[in-house]
Structure 1
Amino acid sequence: MKDELTFKSKNTIEANARISIPTYDTLFTMVQSYFRAKLGEKEASLLVIGAGGGNELAAWGPSNPKWTFTGVDPSKEMLQMAKNKSIQLGLESRVRLIQGTITDLPLPDSKFDAASCILVLHFIVDVQQKLKLLRTIKDNLKPGAPFILVSAYGDPGEAELQDRINVWKSFYLDAGYELSKVDEMGKVIMNISFIPEDHIERLLVESGFTNIARFYSTGLFAGWICHAG
């Protein structure tokens, strides 16, 4: 029964992610292409913030045999999903999973060649804590290393964000959800920490990242590429 519940929970999480972000799988393909362009054919170590669930491992691990992954996530249950995926895909020898936050990383022998932080930043409410996370990621990267950030964004006081939330609701209505349930979800989504796009870019600059460019946008979410200075 426990395994069945875990399977259902995993499937629900992944299904909802694909409704919220219709280009979810394409996003991971785009990130892989970016990393490949920057890393070439060399062996590379990747830091994955919010690795629970294992989607980064599944998307990038099998087709990039020279990449190793260090994944960090506070959720024991989500990390178990990531571990299961790594075993199923035969990646366990190239994957290290750490329960906690980036501050729980052991001192590495060397800094990472690349990093990703996908759908994590908007769960951190305090702006100084957002900044601390980004600075710590930068401090764990080699100079010039590529970094991908994907987050919800927008100004809660502007109509533009409400318009995008209405579009986001329509994703769920088209997927067969009842209107009352979607309206309830719309109230919940406002509990995540939306900040304007220029504020996110400012945080990246203050954290020491350079060459910042938005490369992705779907509904409530956007992605930025940049490099450790």
Structure 2
Amino acid sequence: MQADENPFLKSFKDPAAISNYQSGPPRFTPGFADLHRMVTILLAERVPDDGRILVLGAGGGLELRAMAESQPDWTFVGVDPALPMLELARDTLGDAAARVDFIEGYIDAAPEEVFDGAVCLLTLHFLDRQERLRTIKEIHKRLKPGAPFVAAHSSFPQAPDVRDKWLSRYEAFAVASGVDPEMAGQARDAVSRSVELLTPEQDEQILKSAGFSNVEQFYRAFTWCGWVASA
């Protein structure tokens, strides 16, 4: 599946979806705010005080805001295929938006400068395996040797006897977080139909195949996993 064919990505250009975006991810992603804190901590282990960070899938601006508030001297390049989501990110950041270069597009639109670190949150699962690998290779090309890359996205066991169990947990967490049960069920069905889901082991292997080393899983919550790796 090509990225621009994915119905989830198309929804990020829908005004109704955008107006509700800020409240959506926290209700579907356990530990959403803590994930942002952990990402910033992991980057700060190796990124200098005046570091420059590449953020792929930056629309909405929630992770950008968390990093900008914690690290006042970092600057960012935020890339996203949906211009309305980038405009929402600009509004979300307020004055800190001056420290971000916003770019509409996919990874190929990102400048080929050398970054001190990179982040891609809740995004890579929208890409099929081949495009995921290509995208991560392109991120690797844009990082200084040894620079950290932090990724988190949907990744869980895919064996037929357990896949539905994990999707049910994804749905149940959303309902417990206040999502309308019918909407949560629709989200579960859409994920099952439209996203090429991989296991954590497969995702880790893709990171290694793209050239990253020292791959560590730092986050796992129901159907979500996160890794930090070195370029």
Instruction: Give the aligned residue type for 2:227.
Output: W
Change (3 A) 1:10 1:156: same
1:93 aligns with 2:98: yes
1:196 aligns with 2:199: yes
User: Deviation of residue 163 (structure 1)?
Assistant: 1.5
Quote the Cα distance in structure 2 between the aligned partners of 1:177 and 1:205: 36
Quote the Cα distance in structure 2 between the aligned partners of 1:147 and 1:218: 20
Instruction: Give structure 1 stretches of 5+ with no counterpart.
Output: none
**SS at 2:151 equivalent:** strand
Alignment partner of 2:38 out of 30, 41, 53: 30
Quote the Cα distance in structure 2 between the aligned partners of 1:10 and 1:76: 11
Match of 1:182 in 2: 184
Instruction: Give structure 2 stretches of 5+ with no counterpart.
Output: 1-13
Change (3 A) 1:43 1:196: same
Match of 1:105 in 2: 110
Alignment partner of 1:12 out of 20, 44, 51: 20
Question: Identity percentage over the alignment?
Answer: 29
**SS at 1:117 equivalent:** strand
Q: Which runs of 4+ in 1 moved over 6 A?
A: none
Give the length in aligned residue pairs: 217
| 8 Å Cα contact 2:27-2:179 kept in structure 1 | no
TM-score, normalising length: structure 1:
0.88
**SS at 1:187 equivalent:** helix
TM-score, normalising length: structure 2:
0.87
RMSD: 1.8
1:119 aligns with 2:113: no
Instruction: Give the aligned residue type for 2:184.
Output: V
Instruction: Give the aligned residue type for 1:61.
Output: A
Match of 2:175 in 1: 173
Match of 1:135 in 2: 137
Quote the Cα distance in structure 1 between the aligned partners of 2:40 and 2:179: 32
Match of 2:60 in 1: 53
User: Deviation of residue 161 (structure 1)?
Assistant: 2.7
Computing the radius of gyration over CA atoms, which structure comes out larger, 1 or 2? 1
Instruction: Give the aligned residue type for 2:44.
Output: R
